[in-house]
Amino acid sequence: MDASTLMNGIRQGDQRALARGISWVENQHPQGLELLKLTGKKVPLIGITGAPGAGKSSLVNALVSHWVSKGYRVAILAIDPSSPFHLGALLGDRLRMPGLFLEESVFIRSIAARGSLGGLSASIMEVCDLVQEGPFDRIIVETVGVGQSEIEIAGLADTTLVLTVPEGGDDVQALKSGVMEIADVFAVNKCDRPGSEAMLRHLRELAHTHAQSSWEVPVIGTVATQGEGIEALDEALESHRKSGHISAKKQHLLMEKAYQLIQRNRMRGVHKEILKKQLASAQTKPGFNLYDFVNNYDA
């Protein structure tokens, strides 16, 4: 199958075609680049990030169920931790989103982080461009949730939702060092727990302090497992989309992603398994030096 035929299938809503296209892109299939050259459509892309345990998957379940009830078609790209040896995703979308997996209007794909330290997959920008060609109304990217380096989601998403919990004092401190400054919308999940009102109030004060002329970050309280606050969250996300607000940080972060794409394209001929065998052979020779090997390496 050529790239043009596969793209036609993707645009017609063929989820098998989309799954194959994503595999082409992730695995750097020879037709993958040709497929990406056919992209250009734009669909609202929402990044959801936050510390592990904040309830990202529960929130995604509730939010997407709400959208489905409104007749939307939704794609979910869930970035999962990878095995360091086979680079596959360790967690499965079937385990975390059982209620959505059989929903015809929802496409779910777990994508291995493959060693990326920023909470995203190395190929996520290309995958998002491809998924936007499908007949979707909304696309969600759910990050691994690994700390400050996941601010790169702000360079990818049109709207970045940062999730925290009432006990998330460390998350609030992180705001001052840059992690939560990426938020276009805050959500405090598990608001049925003690301390939720204090957390909401504190975040709203911080959001007001950092407000810009075009946008003040809303802070929404939710209990995702009960569906509480989801409609208000949807309204906040929609308001941001309509506002046209683009953070100045996004341009810098987008430059960083472009840099990574250029770097990866120039490394395209370097395959880890071949490199491992070449290193194993080189190490047996007298006077082996890693820096000399790298400097003279020819893929």
- DSSP letters for the chain: --HHHHHHHHHTT-HHHHHHHHHHHHTT-TTHHHHHTT------EEEEEE-TTS-HHHHHHHHHHHHHHTT--EEEEEEE-B-TTT--BSS-HHHH-HHHHT-TTEEEEEEE-TT-SSSS-TTHHHHHHHHTTSS-SEEEEE----SGGGGGGGGT-SEEEEEE-TT-HHHHHHHHHTSGGG-SEEEE--TTSTTHHHHHHHHHHHHHHT-BTTB---EEE-BGGGTBTHHHHHHHHHHHHHHT---HHHHHHHHHHHHHHHHHHHTTT--HHHHHHHHHHHHTSTT--HHHHHHT---
54 and 8 both lie in a single domain: no
Same domain, 218 and 274: no
Same domain, 135 and 49: yes
- Comparing CA positions, the residue from 114, 100, 123, 99 lying closest to residue 24 is 123
Query: Global pTM?
Result: 0.81
Same domain assignment for residues 110 and 133: yes
Same domain, 194 and 158: yes
Same-domain pairing of 166 and 196: yes
Tens of pLDDT, residue by residue, the chain (299 residues) = 899 999 999 999 999 999 999 999 988 888 998 999 999 898 999 999 887 788 888 999 999 999 999 999 999 998 876 544 444 444 444 455 666 777 889 999 988 765 554 546 668 888 999 999 999 999 999 887 655 445 677 778 889 999 999 986 655 665 655 666 788 999 999 999 998 999 999 899 888 888 888 899 999 999 999 999 999 999 999 999 998 877 666 677 677 777 877 887 788 778 888 999 999 999 999 999 998 999 888 76
- Do residues 120 and 182 share a domain? yes
- Do 193 and 105 share a structural domain? yes
Angle at 190 between CA 185 and CA 195, to 5 degrees: 95
Short-list 88, 99, 110, CA closest to 19? 110
Chain centre distance of CA 166: 24
CA distance 92 to 56: 14
The residue range of the domain holding 262 is 257-295
Shared domain check, 44 and 31:
no
Please tell me whether residues 82 and 223 are part of one structural domain.
yes
Are residues 34 and 142 located together in one domain of the fold? no
Q: For residues 197 and 284, state if they share a domain.
A: no
Distance in angstroms (rounded) separating the CA atoms of residues 224 and 228: 6
Domain count within the chain: 3
